Amino acid sequence: MNIQFKKGVLEICVLSVLARKDCYGYELVNEISKRIDISEGTIYPLLHRLKDEGHVTTYLQESAGGAPRKYYRLTESGRKEEHEQKEEWMRFCASVNALLEGKNNAAE
């Protein structure tokens, strides 16, 4: 899998999963990796970034095994961000596909 493709997209994936339910980091890795490989070295910095930007809040919960889980919950700005980035992603895909199909004019 081309690593470059994932740039920017993994953030949408995280936002999208969080839009459906609160998750902790380790859980997000497993959830997203069902479709797209993502490593812990990617998810934790990403989550911290989202928190710094105010798109998520966190709360701790005990775990049966291992360290306590840090759950992430979308804020209102996070939901807005999720929506906007999803839209932008779809527009981008449409542009790329048009280009790959050889449709030359933006009007087509």
- Positions touching DNA (CB under 7 A) are 3-4, 6-11, 24-27, 37-42, 44-49, 63-70
C-beta of 11: minimal distance to a copy of itself in Å?
8
Residue choice 5, 49, 67, 83 for contact with a copy of itself (CB under 8 A): 5
- Distances in Å between the alpha carbon of 89 and those of 14, 21, 56, 85? 14, 21, 20, 6
Site for a copy of itself in 89-108 (CB under 8 A): 89, 92-93, 95-96, 98-100, 102, 104-106
- Residue 89's φ and ψ, nearest 5 degrees, are -60, -45
Among 24, 29, 18, smallest CA distance to 59 is for: 24
CA distance 75 to 77: 5
Site for a copy of itself in 24-63 (CB under 8 A): 31-32, 34-36
Which DSSP letter does residue 68 get? Answer: P
Nearest to 38 by CA among 11, 65, 66: 11
Residue 75 binding partner per list DNA, a copy of itself, none, with a CB distance cut-off of 5 to 8 Å that depends on partner kind: none
Interface residues with a copy of itself (CB under 8 A)?
Answer: 1-5, 7-9, 12-13, 16-17, 20, 31-32, 34-36, 85-86, 88-89, 92-93, 95-96, 98-100, 102, 104-106
